[in-house]
């Protein structure tokens, strides 16, 4: 089977190539990728090359396929797995395999599996670790967003609280408590807001979201509305934290008290320190943002650690159960991580997009691997549509879905670009 894929050879050395996959073994599965969303972790791998902790030292001789947020369908199943999987099954993959303690992961470490490809060979260890996950939704792009969404779900589950006189940690956010999501108007922050409001588990009664960009705050507020949050028992407030009075306003919203759960979504010292100041008694600060600077640090109030039982956790990814939860919530329409997506592109746009990801504004960049298409902002569809009927139609479809990418948009794009409707 021939495949077309983006492979990593070294630092800033990504190449879009066509090559032949080996025949599958009895314990492997051949699959077709439909969609992949590009993660900042792929950018970090591209910058660090073989120095990255998940990338093999010999990647120059044995390049790896990048991309770990992917969704597709199974084509051929080896005999070992025929009782569990069959051709035509839709799937997503939990890339953090932890197979025999190894750091190897699809999208970083393997020659024949990664999201930015047309076809892949899924190795035995993915199935052995229970990381090949069935996906029963209609839209492939939701399956691609399951991995980043699982990171958010995992962060909510990893936060914890204590009770005086007991040494038992109660995992998860405080039900009906107060929560602040700082620097929360980016794609991952929006996913966190969505989950905080709509997940069937514990929800906060008060949710404050901050950012320093009015335009991002306004977009987020228009998609994740105060009115909808109220219907789910959550009092939602958006605040521009660049205002000198913002911290006082945040406290006032909670009756002058500190917050039970604070999530920090940007690796910025001032944001971390504000989060620490906002903690109430037994408050948990979850540092979600991953810094690239290995010396990144911030000041914390250790008087409060001792006397107010404030505490800090950090999460870097979700586990398989978190991903299963994300897939189920999307399949049921309970959460809609389409709010994360701001750009659409084809496989031919992956190299440039990945290498320049920090400089490209907006949220998640969604790739359809069987089409050629420059990376294009959804916000630009209407203007491009003045000269291109494809974008004119896509602009109309997105407008019907509150400006968001959707199953209808996916089906239309793939039918026009590939000559068939993937979701039929």
If asked whether residues 309 and 328 sit together in one domain, one would say no
Contacts of 293 (CB under 8 A, 6+ apart): 267
d(CA 118, CA 323): 23
The answer to whether residues 106 and 179 belong to one domain is: no
Are residues 131 and 31 part of one domain?
yes
Same domain, residue pair 227 and 88: no
Cβ atoms 116, 368 nearer than 8 A: no
Report in angstroms the alpha-carbon separations of 316 from 148, 313, 341, 400: 10, 10, 21, 35
Burial of 233 (0-12, 13-18, 19+ CB in 10 A): exposed
In a domain, 116, yes or no: yes
State whether 120 and 161 are in the same domain: no
Residue 140 covered by a domain = yes
- Do 74 and 177 sit in the same domain of this protein? no
Q: How far apart are CA 285 and CA 310, in angstroms?
A: 8
pLDDT of the residue at 203: 97
Total tally of structural domains belonging to the chain:
2
| In-domain check, residue 249 | yes
pLDDT along the chain (424 residues), means of 10: 97 98 98 96 94 95 97 98 97 93 94 98 97 96 95 96 90 97 95 97 97 95 97 98 96 97 96 98 94 90 96 89 95 94 98 97 95 97 97 98 96 89 56
Q: pTM of the entire structure?
A: 0.92
Task: Find the CATH number of the domain harbouring 403.
Answer: 3.90.180.10
In a domain, 405, yes or no: yes
Of 314, 343, 376, the last residue of a domain is: 314
The DSSP element (H or E) to which 30 belongs, if any, is strand 29-38
pLDDT at 292: 75
Q: Is 327 in the same domain as 293?
A: no
Q: Are 70 and 36 in contact (CB under 8 A)?
A: yes
First-to-final CA distance of the chain: 24
Same domain membership, residue 404 and residue 361: yes
- What was the pLDDT predicted at 194? 97
C-alpha torsion sign, points 413, 192, 218, 38:
negative
- Of 279, 314, 349, the position where a domain reaches its end is 314
Is 13 part of a structural domain of the chain?
yes
Tell me the C-alpha distance between 166 and 309, whole Å: 12
**Cα angle value 148/292/15 (rounded, 5°):** 70
138 and 286 in a common domain = no
The answer on 180 and 126 residing in a single domain is: no
Residues 180 and 292 in one domain: yes
User: How does DSSP classify residue 258?
Assistant: P
- Domain-terminating residue out of 280, 314, 348: 314
Is 202 within the bounds of a domain? yes
Produce one character per residue of 160-188: b if its CB has 16 or more CB atoms within 10 Å, e if not. Answer: bbeeeeeeeeeebbbeebbbbbbbbbbbb
- Residue numbers of the domain that contains 238: 153-314
Find the CATH number of the domain harbouring 270: 3.40.50.720
Instruction: Tell me: do 99 and 224 sit in the same domain.
Output: no
Contacts of 288 (CB under 8 A, 6+ apart): 151, 152, 155, 188, 192, 263, 264, 265, 314, 315
C-alpha R_g of the chain: 22
423 occurs within a structural domain = no
Query: Is 424 within the bounds of a domain?
Result: no
């Amino acid at each position: 089977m021939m495949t077309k894929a983006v492979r990593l050879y070294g630092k800033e050395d990504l190449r879009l190539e066509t090559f032949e996959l080996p025949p599958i073994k009895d314990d492997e599965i051949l699959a077709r990728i439909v969609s992949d969303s590009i993660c900042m972790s792929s950018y970090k791998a591209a910058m660090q090359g073989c120095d990255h902790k998940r990338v093999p030292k010999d990647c120059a001789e044995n390049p790896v396929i990048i991309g770990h947020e992917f969704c597709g369908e199974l084509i051929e199943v080896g005999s070992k797995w025929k009782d569990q999987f069959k051709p035509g099954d839709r799937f997503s993959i939990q890339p953090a395999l932890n197979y025999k303690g190894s750091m190897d992961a699809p999208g970083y470490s393997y020659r024949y599996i990664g999201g930015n490809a047309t076809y892949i060979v899924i190795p035995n260890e993915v199935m052995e670790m229970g990381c090949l996950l069935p996906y029963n939704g209609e839209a492939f792009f939701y399956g691609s967003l399951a991995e980043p969404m699982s990171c958010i779900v995992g962060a909510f589950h990893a936060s914890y609280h204590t009770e005086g006189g007991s040494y038992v940690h109660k995992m998860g956010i405080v039900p009906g408590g107060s929560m602040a999501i700082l620097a929360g108007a980016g794609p991952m922050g929006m996913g966190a807001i969505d989950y905080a409001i709509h997940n069937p588990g514990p929800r906060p009664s008060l949710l404050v979201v901050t950012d320093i960009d009015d335009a991002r705050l306004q977009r987020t507020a228009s998609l994740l509305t105060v009115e909808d949050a109220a219907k789910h028992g959550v009092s939602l407030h958006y605040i521009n934290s660049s205002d000198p009075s913002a911290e006082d306003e945040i406290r006032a919203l909670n009756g002058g008290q500190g917050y039970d759960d604070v999530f920090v979504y940007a690796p910025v010292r001032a944001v971390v320190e504000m989060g620490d100041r906002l903690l109430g008694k037994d408050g948990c600060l979850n540092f979600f943002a991953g810094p690239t600077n290995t010396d990144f640090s911030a000041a914390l109030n250790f008087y409060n650690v001792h006397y107010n039982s404030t505490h800090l956790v950090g999460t870097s990814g979700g586990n398989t159960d978190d991903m299963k939860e994300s897939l189920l919530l999307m399949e049921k329409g309970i959460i809609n991580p389409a709010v994360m997506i701001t750009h659409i592109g084809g496989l031919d746009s992956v190299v440039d997009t990945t290498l320049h990801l920090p400089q490209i504004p907006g949220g998640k960049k969604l790739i359809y691997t069987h089409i050629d298409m420059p990376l294009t902002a959804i916000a630009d569809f209407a203007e491009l549509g003045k000269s291109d009927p494809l974008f004119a139609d896509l602009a109309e479809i997105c407008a019907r879905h509150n400006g968001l990418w959707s199953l209808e948009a996916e089906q239309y794009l793939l039918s026009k670009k590939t000559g068939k409707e993937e979701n039929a």
